[in-house]
């Protein structure tokens, strides 16, 4: 049973198809950690060009998936409810496994530190309990209607 389904996810973050890269939130401990599922299917638009005959999920979209999961974690914290989380930096990104159609991508994000309107999270994207990608992300939070 999921904690949040796709429509509840869209109530929290502004991303929509074709740039929404998660199907459900499996576990959520606001202010601490989140686990999200992304079912990778051959119907994803990016597989048409990356790469024909050898479909591979682009690393930048794995990072985007992690950033979206981090946004949910951040915005479910009391101090940031109703705001928008923006990606500020990507550190130590490492890609260790290719992600292909049919894979189930499990996104794990842990809050590391928060200061005022920014903070850092530790992230990993796994397929079959093997790390496909790991990184640290820095986020900046602003009012939803404020341009930064």
- Annotated active-site positions, please? 50
CA-based angle 76:105:21, to the nearest 5?
55
User: How many DSSP H helices and E strands does the chain contain?
Assistant: 2, 6
Measured CA to CA in angstroms, residue 82 lies from 26, 51, 59, 126 at distances of 21, 38, 29, 29
Instruction: Give the integer Cα–Cα distance in Å for 109 and 44.
Output: 23
């Amino acid at each position: 049973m999921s904690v949040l389904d796709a429509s509840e996810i869209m109530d929290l973050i502004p991303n929509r198809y074709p740039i929404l890269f998660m199907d459900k939130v499996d576990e959520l401990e606001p202010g601490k950690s989140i686990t999200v599922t992304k079912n990778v299917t051959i119907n994803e638009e990016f597989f048409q060009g990356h790469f024909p005959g050898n479909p591979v999920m682009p690393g930048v979209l794995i990072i985007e998936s992690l950033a979206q999961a981090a946004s949910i974690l951040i915005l479910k914290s009391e101090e940031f409810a109703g705001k928008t989380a923006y990606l500020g930096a990507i550190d130590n990104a490492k890609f260790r496994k290719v992600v292909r159609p049919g894979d189930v991508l499990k996104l794990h994000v842990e809050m590391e530190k928060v200061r005022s309107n920014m903070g850092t999270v530790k992230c990993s994207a796994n397929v079959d309990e093997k790390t496909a990608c790991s990184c640290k992300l820095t986020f900046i939070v602003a009012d939803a209607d404020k341009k930064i």
